[in-house]
Amino acid sequence: MKLCIKVIIGDHSRLSLVLALFLLFAGHALAEPRDAETIVARNCVSCHTSGAGGAPRIEHEADWSALFDRFSSDEVVTNAYEGRGRMPARGFCNDCSLDDIARAIEVMLPEAYKGQVRPDQ
């Protein structure tokens, strides 16, 4: 049996590793979008609760108003996704998509701004 497996795998271990990694990441890419509240809890609250580094605080209207006075909603999402100033790219959620980031921002907005940030559906 061991010989059989060795013959089948043989020198194709690199190919097997590449295939395994591809399947691992392809499966993640095809997965349903993640819950925005979970993304916020895991990646955003450390700065957006206290306003660290000038981050707009969660549901704090004056903070978000100042941000939307300077940037369009698309720019806010792009800046969060790509990183700008003290905002790290994707808030360290390295596997978050642009839509994931947009949904997370929507969760953090105060009522007055709800619906301004819309992920592509």
For the chain (length 121 residues), average pLDDT per consecutive 10? 50 54 51 83 96 96 97 96 96 95 96 84 46
pLDDT at residue 117, as a whole number: 86
pLDDT at residue 116, as a whole number: 86
Same domain, 40 and 68: yes
**Would residue 87 count as lying in a domain?**
yes
Q: How many domains is the chain partitioned into structurally?
A: 2
Q: What DSSP assignment string belongs to 27-96?
A: HHHTSPPPPHHHHIIIIIHHHHTTTGGGPPPTT-HHHHHHHHHHS-HHHHHHHHHH-BTTB-GGGG-TT-
pLDDT at residue 4, as a whole number: 46
Domain extent at residue 4: 1-31
Same domain, 45 and 94: yes
**Would residue 118 count as lying in a domain?**
no
Distances in Å between the Cα of 70 and the Cα atoms of 6, 56, 93, 111 are 62, 13, 24, 19
Same domain, 47 and 105: yes
Same domain, 69 and 10: no
Same domain, 4 and 59: no
